[in-house]
Amino acid sequence: MIKIISNKNGKEKSNLISLFDEGSKNKVRAFHKTLLNYKPTPLIEMNKYADIVGVNKLWVKDESHRMGLKAFKVLGASYAITNILYEKIGWDKNELSFEKLFNEDLSQFTFVTATDGNHGRGVAWISNQFGCKSFVFMPNTSSEVRINNIEEFATEVFIVDGNYDMASGKAKEYAKQKNAILVQDSSWEGYEKIPLIIMQGYITLIDEIYEQLNGDNFSHIFLHCGVGSMPAAIEAYLVNKFGTDKPITNIVEPNKADCFYKSIEINDGKPHSVYGKLDSVMAGLSCGTPSKLAWDIISKHSNYFISCDDEIAKLGMREFSKVNIISGESGAVSLGILKYAFDNDKSIFEKLEIDSSSKIMLISTEGDTDQIFYKQVLSEID
């Protein structure tokens, strides 16, 4: 059900950490405050549930409330696309404003991306807001609901006969053929500038958390990992803020797409891919290849790597619903880990250095982005 491995390589500091410093944070936060319907998502203190699993405190950052899109991904997409458009127009990027671009004719710009759902919806939504075209590539395991969610905003959605990595390859080819702009939240050799800006956009998520904690802090944080861009951004933020005294970070992946876990297990310092359908119900985490930039940060600074099956995500969804929090399959897996560990295998807590004094931060990265599947899971018997 759940496998855990510790990071024995976390000794060298990533050179990318400085790109997520206070100055970067201030620029990102100032930009997001110009979004028309931006406001911080709730940070919920789950006191009763902390007692249930035997820890001191438990919080969840609820991204189901993010700007009507039910997921955090729009933070990165909006920051990247606005940066790109400012650069194309020749404006000063030190004064980014979402609203200022509404006065411009931007219809000549076309954006392309690959997605399992939430990133593509963010790219399509931002493009639509600016009057730009967007073309989104999705794996054939994508649910009809997620496809429809993106078609609401995108110019066109293409379904690829293959997994997320294949969709990413098709998006890359299409952008080159059409002379369009690829906006991918994964990076590889020769494609790093835009993914880095997307990652910086995710700083807002963790900075909101620290504003809402009002001086308190967590000892552990669980970070759900697909290609790794969001976990890496949060990891870098924590290293900047606390150095070696940062909270313990746990990287969580589905066992059908656990490329970071497998890479740490191989232990040669290099990222490795996993192959196959990558057909976990945790669609947003079903990615077979680590992002180059994310790997550099996560492999050097994260503490533990967790690989778990789909039933853990479903368990988390049902547990969140009991406290009136709507959390989708890629958002709920960490609560599922805590509940499973408490009920079935307390050695998991020991492996993650969790005890009765621990203060744990969870991020429910999405709401019911597939409403049909969400209702189906909640109808199942625990």
CATH of 74-198, one of 3.90.110.10, 3.40.50.300, 3.40.50.1100, 3.30.450.20: 3.40.50.1100
- Specify the range with the lowest mean pLDDT, choosing from 5-9, 128-132, 203-207, 313-317: 5-9
pLDDT tier at 34, thresholds 50, 70, 90: very high
Active site residue 11: no
Q: Do 2-71+200-379 and 74-198 agree at the fold level?
A: yes
Average pLDDT, the chain: 96
* Kind and range of the H or E run holding 320: helix 310-322
Query: What pTM was computed for the model?
Result: 0.97
Q: Which residues pair with 137 in a beta bridge?
A: 114, 158
- Evaluate if residue 286 carries a pLDDT over 60: yes
Cα 126 to Cα 74: distance, rounded to the nearest angstrom: 8
- Evaluate if residue 381 carries a pLDDT over 70: no
- Specify the range with the lowest mean pLDDT, choosing from 1-10, 63-72, 287-296, 325-334: 1-10
Q: Which of 73, 262, 292, 359 is catalytic?
A: 73
Burial of residue 288 (number of CB atoms within 10 Å: 0-12, 13-18, 19+): buried
Is 2-71+200-379 assigned to CATH 3.90.1150.10? no
Handedness of CA 63, 68, 73, 79 (dihedral sign): negative
pLDDT tens-digit series, residues 143-164: 999 999 999 999 999 999 999 9
Active site residue 73: yes
pLDDT tens-digit series, residues 325-339: 999 999 999 999 999
Q: Which of 27, 61, 70, 116 is catalytic?
A: 116
Residue 93 near residue 260 (C-beta atoms within 8 A): no
pLDDT tier at 10, thresholds 50, 70, 90: low
For residue 303, how many other CB atoms are within 10 A of its CB? 18
CA 244 to chain centre: 23
Query: Residue holding tokens 């009809």?
Result: 144
- Evaluate if residue 11 carries a pLDDT over 70: no
Residue 208 near residue 61 (C-beta atoms within 8 A): yes
Residue 300 near residue 246 (C-beta atoms within 8 A): no
pLDDT tens-digit series, residues 343-367: 999 999 999 999 999 999 999 999 9
Q: Where do the domains of the chain lie?
A: 2-71+200-379, 74-198
pLDDT tens-digit series, residues 81-138: 999 999 999 999 988 999 999 889 999 999 999 999 899 999 999 999 999 999 999 9
201 DSSP 8-state letter: H
pLDDT tens-digit series, residues 196-240: 999 999 999 999 999 999 999 999 999 999 999 999 999 999 999
